[in-house]
Amino acid sequence: LVAALDAERDQLQAELDAVVYPVLSVPAELTTLIFVHSLPSAHFNQPSPLECPLLLTQICRQWRAIAVGTAELWASVAICSARPTSVELFEMWLTRSGVSPLRISLFEPNRMHASRLVNACLQHADRWEDIQLLLPDETLLGLLRDMPRLPLLRKIGMQYSGEGYKDADLESLTLRDAPLLDTAMIERGRGVELKFGLPWNQLSSLK
C-alpha cells in the first residue's frame, strides 16, 4: 500500500512539474520591468517579506532568480531601529544592489547597531545618491570625520543634538568631496549652530 501511494505521489509530482504556468513563459526582460514597477512608491524602501522586492523572492525559483539579479530592485532601502539580524539584511540588500546609485535612510538610536550599519554603508559610499542619517551624535560625527569621496551624492539629511561636543570638534568636520551635492537637510538641537563644512557654493537647497 505504501509503495502504491509513493508511486501515485511521484506520478502527480511529475505531472505538476510538467505544467508550464503562463506567467513563467513571460520573457525575463519583461518580468524584470514588471518587478521594477511593482516596487512600493515610497522614496526609501523598508524591507518587508510582504512587499517587493523580498516578496518576489518567495514565489518560485524563477522569480527569485530574476529578483535577486535585478540590481534596481535593491537600490533603495530604509532601516529603522535595526536588530542584529537587520544589519545582516542591510548588508545583503546593498550587495544585491550591484552598481546602482543608492538611496539610503538609516534610523538607529542604539550606538552599537548604528556603528555596524554605518560600517556596512561605508563600503558602498561611492554609490550614495541620497542618504538620510538619524543616528547617535557620536556615530554621526565619527562618520563625518572619516567620510570618503562621494562622487554620486546629490542629497544628504542628518540630525544631531550637538550635546557634549565643543565647537572646535564640529568645525573640524567637512563634507566637501561631493561634487554633485546640491541639497542638504540638517536638523539640530535648539541653539546648536551649524559648524561643520559643506560645499556651500554648489548647494541649491539647505534646510
Taking alpha carbons only, the member of 126, 57, 60, 133 closest to residue 93 is 57
List, in sequence order, the alpha helices (H) in 19-110. 28-37, 61-68, 84-96
pLDDT of residue 21: 59
Beta strand 102-107 with 76-80 is: parallel
- Inter-helix orientation angle 111-122/84-96, to 10°: 10
- pLDDT reported for residue 78: 93
pLDDT for position 61: 86
pLDDT of residue 86: 80
Largest CA distance in the chain: 83
Q: What is the pLDDT of residue 171?
A: 53
Give residue 194's pLDDT.
60
How far is the C-alpha of 73 from the C-alpha of 69, rounded, in Å? Answer: 9
Which DSSP state fits 56?
Answer: G
Residue with cell 520573457: 27
End-to-end CA gap in the chain = 75
pLDDT in tens, the chain (207 residues): 678 888 888 888 777 666 555 666 778 888 899 999 989 888 899 899 999 999 999 988 889 999 999 999 999 999 987 666 688 899 999 999 999 999 999 998 888 889 999 999 999 999 999 999 998 888 888 888 878 899 999 999 988 776 655 554 555 567 778 999 999 888 876 655 666 677 878 888 877
Q: What is the pLDDT of residue 168?
A: 46
DSSP state of 57: G
pLDDT in tens, 25-69: 778 888 899 999 989 888 899 899 999 999 999 988 889 999 999
For 8-34, give one letter per residue: b (16+ CB within 10 A) or e.
Answer: eeeeeeeeeeeeeeeeeeeeeeebbee
The position carrying cell 552599537 is 112
Residue 73's nearest CA partner among 47, 91, 50, 105 is 47
